[in-house]
C-alpha cells in the first residue's frame, strides 16, 4: 500500500517486516520458548556446566518454599488455563501463548541446585525486631540484615553460588518495595500523560522528560540498593528478588509461565546467554543512550548520562556517563558535542576489549531527538574511527494505523514516511501465536534517523529484532529494544552511587536485572 504525500521526500509505503529469529543450542525460530526445547545457545560451548547453584536468603519458611519451587522447576510444568477452554482452537492458542515449561535441564541444560552452605536464614526474632520500626527504618535495617547474611554466606563458603535469591515475605515487600511516595511525586500531570510511551504493564516504562525544578529529592529504592550491594567487588554475585506470593503460586500468571520467566532470568544472571538473534551482523554494535537524575542532598537535580552496549553473542554492558545539561527550550536533557564524542569513544573501546576488534558499524538509539551538538559529537568520533554509523531516535508516534477485524495491525507493521522517518509497531497481532498478546490497543513508535548510512527499513528491522532480547522472560517479544528498554531500571541503580561510594557500578547488565 502506498500513498503520495506532497510534504514527504518519498512515496509513503506501508510494509510488514519479517519476524526476526533467535538461535539456541540446535534450533532457529521466531519463538524462544520453542527453540529452547533443544537447550540454550550457551550450551554450544564445551565449557557449559550442568549445574546452576543458587544461594537463598530468607526466613526458614520461605527457604523451604523456595527449595520446593526449585525442585519443581527441574521437572516439566504443565501450563493450565485459568478456566476451561471453549474450543480446540482456544486450547491450542493457550498453549501457544503459555507453553508448558519442559524443566530447567531441558530448556537451559542446567539442574537447579541449592547447597546447604548457601542457605542464609533470617530468624523470627530478627523479623520481630524489624516490625517495631517505621517504614524507612524497617527498610534500612532489613537491607543491612540481608547484606550481613549475603556477606557471611559468601565469606564462609569455599566457592560462590551462581545467583542468590533474596526471598521477601509479603509484608517485607509491601513496606520495602518503595518506601516513601517517590513514584507519586514523579507522576506527571494529566496533560503530560499523552506524551509518554503508551506501553503495557509488562514492559519496562521508558523515562519521560521531566522538568528538574519540579522533582523532589529521591527516596529509598530498596530493590536498587540491594542491586548495589551485589555489585560490591567483595561479593559480585547477582541477586534475584522473589516475593512470597510468587513462591506460593499467587498472582495472575500460571505456574508454568512464572517458572519460564524466573528460570530464564536466573540463567542469564549466571553470565550465560539463553539465545541470540539470527542473522544479526556480529560486527555491528548497538548502543542505547539515556539519562537519569542522580540522588542529591539538595532539591536541585543533577542529570547524568548512561549507555547500554549490545552486540550479538555478547555480554551486554552498561556504561555510566557524566553530568549533562538540561535544555529548557527543548525540554530535555542534551549532551554536548564533547560528551557525545567521549561516550562514543568509550563504547568503541569496550567493544574492542570484549571482541578484540572494533565494530564495522555502530547504531545509537535514543529516546529523544538528537540535538545538532549530539549529532556533531557522535559523527566526529565515528568518522575518526572510519566506520559506518546510524543515529536513531525512538519516540512515541502521533499516528495510529487501524484495520478491519478483531485484532490490531500485525507486529512489524511499518509506515515509511520518508527516507529518514517511519512509524513502527513493535507490538501487535502475532501470527505465530494466532492472537494479539496484549490488553490495550498498541501504539507505534516514530523512528527517526538523524544521520547514518543504513536505510530506514534496516533501522526498523533491527529495532524489531532487539525487542526479542528481554532475558527477564522468555516471551515472544517485548515492546522496546534492549538498548533502551531497561533504561529506568539501570538509572534507578545508578542513583544509589555517588562520589562517596566505595566502588563503581558494575559494567555487566545482568547485575541490573
Q: Report yes or no: 103 and 73 within 8 Å, Cβ to Cβ.
A: yes
> Tens digit of pLDDT for each residue in 29-65?
999 999 999 999 999 999 889 999 999 999 999 999 9
Q: In what order do the strands lie in the sheet with 22-23?
A: 28-29, 22-23, 276-277
Q: Measured between alpha carbons, how far is 277 from 280 in angstroms, rounded to an integer? A: 6
Q: What is the DSSP letter of 385?
A: T
Lowest mean pLDDT of 258-272, 344-358, 373-387, 487-501, name the range: 487-501
* Confidence (pTM): 0.87
CB atoms within 10 A of CB 296: 14
The pLDDT score that the predictor gives to residue 217 is: 39
Lowest mean pLDDT of 35-49, 312-326, 381-395, 459-473, name the range: 312-326
> Tens digit of pLDDT for each residue in 448-485?
999 999 999 999 999 999 999 989 888 999 899 999 99
Q: HSE-up of 390 (CA within 13 Å, CB side)? A: 25
Q: How does residue 122 score in pLDDT terms, banded at 50, 70 and 90?
A: very high
Please name the fold of domain 2-20+278-511: Nucleotidyltransferase; domain 5 (3.30.420)
Query: What does residue 109 show for φ and ψ, rounded to 5 degrees?
Result: 55, 35
Q: Measured between alpha carbons, how far is 350 from 481 in angstroms, rounded to an integer? A: 20
Q: How does residue 328 score in pLDDT terms, banded at 50, 70 and 90?
A: confident
Q: Where are the beta strands (DSSP E) in 213-316?
A: 239-243, 276-277, 284-294, 302-310
How far, CA to CA in Å, does 10 sit from each of 369, 393, 395, 420?
Answer: 21, 20, 21, 10
Q: Where are the beta strands (DSSP E) in 244-316?
A: 276-277, 284-294, 302-310
Mean pLDDT of 355-371: 93
The pLDDT score that the predictor gives to residue 296 is: 54
Q: Report yes or no: 294 and 312 within 8 Å, Cβ to Cβ.
A: no
Domain boundaries, the chain: 2-20+278-511, 28-179+230-269
The grid coordinates of residue 352 equal 574492542
Residues in the chain: 513
Q: How does residue 506 score in pLDDT terms, banded at 50, 70 and 90?
A: very high
Mean pLDDT of 74-90: 81
Mean pLDDT of 197-203: 32
Amino acid at each position: 500500500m502506498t500513498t503520495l504525500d506532497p510534504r514527504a521526500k518519498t512515496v509513503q509505503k506501508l510494509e510488514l517486516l519479517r519476524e526476526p529469529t533467535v538461535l539456541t543450542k540446535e534450533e532457529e525460530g521466531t519463538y524462544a520458548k520453542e527453540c529452547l526445547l533443544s537447550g540454550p545457545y550457551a550450551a554450544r560451548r564445551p565449557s557449559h556446566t550442568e549445574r546452576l547453584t543458587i544461594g537463598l536468603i530468607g526466613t526458614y519458611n520461605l527457604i523451604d518454599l523456595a527449595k520446593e519451587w526449585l525442585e519443581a522447576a527441574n521437572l516439566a510444568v504443565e501450563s493450565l488455563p485459568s478456566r476451561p477452554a471453549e474450543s480446540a482452537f482456544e486450547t491450542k492458542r493457550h498453549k501457544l501463548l503459555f507453553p508448558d515449561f519442559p524443566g530447567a535441564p531441558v530448556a537451559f541444560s542446567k539442574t537447579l541446585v541449592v547447597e546447604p552452605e548457601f542457605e542464609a536464614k533470617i530468624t523470627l526474632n530478627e523479623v520481630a525486631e524489624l516490625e517495631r520500626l517505621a517504614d524507612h527504618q524497617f527498610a534500612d535495617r532489613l537491607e543491612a540484615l540481608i547484606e550481613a547474611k549475603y556477606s557471611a554466606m559468601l565469606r564462609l563458603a569455599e566457592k560462590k553460588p551462581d545467583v542468590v535469591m533474596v526471598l521477601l515475605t509479603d509484608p517485607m515487600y509491601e513496606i520495602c518495595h518503595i518506601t516513601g511516595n517517590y513514584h507519586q511525586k514523579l507522576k506527571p500531570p494529566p496533560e503530560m500523560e499523552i506524551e509518554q510511551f503508551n506501553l503495557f504493564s509488562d514492559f519496562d516504562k521508558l523515562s519521560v522528560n521531566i522538568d528538574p525544578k519540579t522533582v523532589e529529592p529521591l527516596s529509598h529504592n530498596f530493590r536498587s540498593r540491594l542491586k548495589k550491594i551485589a555489585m560490591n567487588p567483595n561479593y559480585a554475585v547477582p541477586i534475584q528478588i522473589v516475593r512470597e506470593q510468587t513462591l506460593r503460586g499467587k498472582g495472575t500468571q500460571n505456574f508454568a509461565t512464572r517458572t519460564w520467566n524466573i528460570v530464564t532470568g536466573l540463567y542469564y544472571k549466571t553470565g550465560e546467554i539463553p539465545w541470540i538473534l539470527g542473522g544479526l551482523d556480529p560486527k555491528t554494535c548497538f548502543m542505547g543512550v539515556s539519562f537519569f537524575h542522580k540522588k542529591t542532598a539538595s532539591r536541585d537535580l543533577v542529570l547524568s548520562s548512561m549507555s547500554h552496549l549490545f552486540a550479538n553473542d555478547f555480554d551486554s554492558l552498561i556504561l555510566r556517563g557524566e553530568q549533562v545539561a538540561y535544555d529548557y527550550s527543548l525540554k530535555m536533557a542534551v549532551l554536548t558535542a564533547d560528551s557525545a564524542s567521549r561516550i562514543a569513544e568509550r563504547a568503541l573501546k569496550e567493544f574492542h576489549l570484549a571482541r578484540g576488534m572494533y565494530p564495522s558499524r555502530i547504531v545509537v538509539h535514543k529516546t529523544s531527538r538528537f540535538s545538532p551538538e549530539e549529532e556533531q559529537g557522535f559523527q566526529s568520533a565515528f568518522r575518526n574511527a572510519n566506520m559506518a554509523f546510524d543515529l536513531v531516535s525512538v519516540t512515541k508516534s502521533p499516528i495510529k494505523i487501524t484495520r478491519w477485524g478483531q485484532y490490531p495491525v500485525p507486529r512489524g507493521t511499518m509506515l515509511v514516511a520518508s527516507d529518514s522517518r517511519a512509524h513502527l509497531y513493535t507490538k501487535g497481532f502475532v501470527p505465530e501465536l494466532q492472537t494479539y498478546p496484549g490488553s490495550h490497543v498498541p501504539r507505534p513508535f516514530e523512528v527517526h534517523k538523524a544521520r547514518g548510512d543504513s536505510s530506514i527499513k534496516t533501522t526498523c528491522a533491527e529495532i524489531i529484532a532487539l525487542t526479542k532480547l528481554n532475558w527477564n522472560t522468555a516471551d515472544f517479544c517485548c515492546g522496546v529494544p534492549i538498548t533502551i528498554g531497561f533504561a529506568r531500571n539501570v538509572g534507578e541503580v545508578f542513583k544509589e552511587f555517588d562520589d562517596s561510594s566505595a566502588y563503581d557500578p558494575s559494567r555487566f547488565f545482568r547485575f541490573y536485572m
